[in-house]
Chains A and B, each alone.
Chain A
Amino acid sequence: VLTCIRGGHVIDPASGRDGVDDVFIGDGRIVAAPSCERHVDQTFNASGSVVMAGGIDIHSHIAGAGVNAARLLLAEQQPPNRPAAALGPGRSSFATGCRYAEMGFTTVVEPAIAPHAALQAHLELADIPIIDKAILVVLGNDDFLLRLIRAKESAAALRDYVGLTLGASRALGVKVINAGGAAAFKANVRQFSLDDVVPAYGVSSREIVKALQHAVIEAGVPHPLHVHCNNLGLPGNVETALATIAAGADVPLHLAHLQFYGYGTAGPRGFSSEAARLAEAVNASRNLTVDVGQVMFGQTVTISLDVLRQFNSRGSARPAKWLIVDGDANGFGIVPYKYRPGNFYNAIQFAVGLELFLLINNPAQVLFSTDHPNGAPFTAYPDILALLMDRNLRAEMLTRLPVEAMEMTTLASIRREYSLAEVAIMTRSAPAKVLGLADRGHLGVGARADIAVYANEVDRAKMFRAAALVFKDGELVVREGQVINAHWGRALDVRPEHDASMTRRLHRYFAERYGLTPEVIRVRDRLIERPEPFELVPCRA
């Protein structure tokens, strides 16, 4: 069956296309225009619409023990007589897939899964329809790795452990979250920065980050180490982010939700935006990509494996309840939170995110995220895109925020507006590239036919909230912002080679520590009851 999306404004930064064109789909892939129009079986008229590849979200907490605990912690926040799914963080796995697809997103990465929690995460992901998914597996607070680093084991040993863990947890990449911070918190450390040392292990946060960064490269994983820095959310933490960039950007590095590290200590309240300095550092680092973690105003819930940070922010919980799990390795913390436009600190957080988007020159370096749901639920994306594309809309928004807060930021002075092509880079081609997904994020021949068609509305929020048409693997799944066909997607993973001796070591470790074999936490295809639950992403040779 040959399908044609006819006459839309095709925006495909990877090929440089930005104009009216047709897109052809055959057998789930983008294909070349046929020699004869008679071969086209099915045509969708897209004139007046914008045609892009399906969106790719590199950082969104949509599954795992923490997300599920947040559902249960906030079980009362369920509006009666409304689909439970419509609320904030997307109550059910099923709703998560539908809401993403309606916005034209077709691939989403859950970035924070501990190795022993990977099976549950994949079971949840398997119940998220339509979109393809992936997890990043979290290392850097786990006893086994910290022991390896303390014992100054070889780069090959670290590579093997990372490779083995990626394969067993079926992950697409590796993330480190406040490296060593959760382990230090268990020893009653309350502040932990890049050069602080984890008690009982004698290794610094910096050493952990560097060791993992190199192990990921050695293992041939396309996505560079995904780093959640120390000191998230604290005044003056721009120095931590800058130090992490200085330490790590000699080789590829991804910094997550950079907005939460854009804070200085200037001004009457000792809290100010340092986004301009951070953006300058990003602009100067070609090896570096970041995602933003934009804050939007409203009720949300923060879900993080940065258990130290979550513990320290427990006093700000709204509603006033919180859950801290001192689990194996990182554990996690859940703190519900409400960002309010009248709140000085929240207003600065809001501004810092937009400043980063607008002051980082290359949209391929600044990827789109709200760190869902930590900055805002992913359903806020259309409103953020609208703000990036329209300075008048931003100016209007600023009038609602405290003047003294806006004096601590540069946002009001920024005139830049994102073009649709820049939006496509930031939400399509760039995340595909940084994740190593060669057949996604573009509309070239051979690409997966994940396609979003948007009515080209002046109201950009309206445009991006409800795609006119969405195709997943060439199948029409959304029409006029409504899901019409909810099939099951896959999870993307890498499986680096590793030496069998590391497998034996891990078996010994598990036997001693848990009285179990690590086989019980291995994610095997047949445990995920879907026809083809996984799709292999090749490692670099």
Chain B
Amino acid sequence: VILLGEFEQVVLLAILRAGDEAYGVTISREIASCTGRDPAPGALYTTLDRLEGKGLVTSRYGDPTAMRGGRAKRYFAVSEEGVRAVALAQRGFQRLLKGLSLPGLARA
């Protein structure tokens, strides 16, 4: 079982939400829009590298685009193992929330 940190879960979920267009900018945008926190690029990219090292995400380079000064995008996708790990971690959260009534959160 691969244990995930909180930010690792956030990043994995953001990649899943961004789908085929998951690269640095869109992942950062997803995190900011869903959590209200703008991730620091340093934290985001080192986390992505770490997740790739653990085999939880895969990456590939796209074609260079003029808008980015001819630089390619690095697209990320969550591996099957990554999906399992994030689902397991989220089940833990759901169990903890079960029966709790928190302000601004629907009763689980």
Asked if A pairs with B, the answer is no
Q: What is the interface of chain A, defined by CB distance below 8 A to chain B?
A: none
Q: What is the interface of chain B, defined by CB distance below 8 A to chain A?
A: none
